[in-house]
Amino acid sequence: MSSVAYENVIKKFGETVAVNNMTFHVADKEFLVLVGPSGCGKTTALRLLAGLEEITSGTIHIGDRVVNDIAPKDRDIAMVFQSYALYPHLSVYENMAFGLKLRKTPKSEIERRVHNAAEILGIEELLNRKPRQLSGGQRQRVAVGRAIVREPKVFLFDEPLSNLDAKLRVQMRAEINKLHKRLQTTFIYVTHDQVEAMTMASRIAVINKGILQQIDTPQNLYDYPENLFVAGFIGSPAMNFFPAKLRQEDGKLYVDSDNFTIPIPASHAAPYQDYVNKNIVFGIRPENIHDPAFTPPNIHAERIAAKVDVVELMGNEIFLYMFSGENSFVARVDPRSSFRIGDQVEMVFDMDTFHIFDAETEKAIR
């Protein structure tokens, strides 16, 4: 059983709280990604699980064991770091076998495990090479292979792809996903890259300032963010936010921003009745803002005036950076659109897919 549980875990460095009362459960064989901005506490949370940092208070379980006072080598975990941390004077085979030799594993068992891991990772032909003879992607595979040979209950990954170029990162994301399916064990993966998190995780834990903000499936985090931070962190480009008030007129509910007023469809209005005349934050994702010429059918389409500031041609889509009065926002539009910098245009908001947050608490209003 390789489940993991954090229960009211706190980690302080002096007066600084790096991990603040963190509680969550990772199921056996799950792929959980911890995501958040730099300095949010996600790596510290991972290091507490690995035993590389001492817990200030709370408990961490691996399976049925509380591991707070268990030495790292006895926790039955393996960790892959951002730096490959390979011994330059040892061959790939010797790097992968090193930890097993320290544990006095029989030579035949070491050979079986190393060759099995090398086959899984496609690096069999590299076993006699030294790290300096390898590319960045090959070195990362060796670092992963060194973890695989230990056959641990839990794999921990601390931003393992950060040193790779963009194309190789995409390739290695797929490789790690396939590895998880093949090994059928628990993966806990730390990254600041929400695209990595969305494409790899079975669930994502979003952390900010040491506090767990929300833990859920990638799709639920995207569709139902619980607060302003999660809404702005998950999704690329990020969700657009407009300070506004809710106003009621002739039985209809309106989002009243400084520069536009748009009605909320009657079918979506019920949750917001208690917020009439209160300050809110109106959120809408770039992909839900359309060129009027290419608006999807059967949506509640509302137009706002805007000015085009930057046009990014992506091939399969166009990113428009725009202004509505003082508010900047991003639209992700059809590649057939023909916008130019400086154009005064109308854009279509899809009012079936918006979000509203309490301006004071920053919590989502459902």
Supply the pLDDT for residue 85: 81
- The CA dihedral of 71, 77, 82, 85, to the nearest 10 degrees, is 70
Supply the pLDDT for residue 172: 84
Between CA 148 and CA 112 the distance in angstroms is 12
Between CA 242 and CA 178 the distance in angstroms is 40
More confident residue, 1 or 50: 50
Number of neighbouring beta carbons within 10 Å of residue 342: 8
User: How open is the CA angle 112-119-43, to the nearest 5 degrees?
Assistant: 95
Between CA 225 and CA 201 the distance in angstroms is 16
Neighbour-count burial of 266, counting CB atoms closer than 10 A to its CB (0-12 exposed, 13-18 middle, 19+ buried):
exposed
- pLDDT bin (cut points 50, 70, 90) of residue 162 is confident
- Beta-strand (E) ranges in the chain? 4-13, 16-26, 31-35, 57-62, 65-66, 77-80, 154-158, 186-191, 203-208, 211-216, 240-249, 252-257, 261-263, 279-284, 289-290, 301-313, 318-324, 327-333, 344-350, 354-358
Specify whether the CB–CB gap between 9 and 59 falls below 8 A.
yes
DSSP assignment letter at 202: S
Asked if CATH classification 3.30.230.70 holds for the domain at 4-233, the reply, yes or no, is: no
Share of the chain above pLDDT 70, in %: 100
- pLDDT bin (cut points 50, 70, 90) of residue 251 is confident
CATH architecture of 241-358: Beta Barrel (2.40)
Between CA 269 and CA 272 the distance in angstroms is 6
Tell me the average pLDDT of the chain: 93
pLDDT in tens, 206-239: 999 999 999 999 999 999 999 999 999 999 999 9
Between CA 74 and CA 307 the distance in angstroms is 60
pLDDT in tens, 85-115: 889 999 999 999 998 998 899 999 999 999 9
Between CA 324 and CA 289 the distance in angstroms is 13
Residue 127 has pLDDT above 90, yes or no: yes
Residue 20 has pLDDT above 80, yes or no: yes
Closest alpha carbon to 345 in 360, 364, 362, 331: 331
Specify whether the CB–CB gap between 205 and 34 falls below 8 A.
yes
- pLDDT bin (cut points 50, 70, 90) of residue 1 is low
Per-domain residue ranges of the chain = 4-233, 241-358
Specify whether the CB–CB gap between 268 and 351 falls below 8 A.
yes
Q: Lowest-confidence range among 9-18, 173-182, 195-204, 211-220? A: 173-182
pLDDT in tens, 257-272: 988 999 999 999 999 9
Supply the pLDDT for residue 163: 78
pLDDT in tens, 295-323: 999 999 999 999 999 999 999 999 999 99
Neighbour-count burial of 238, counting CB atoms closer than 10 A to its CB (0-12 exposed, 13-18 middle, 19+ buried):
middle
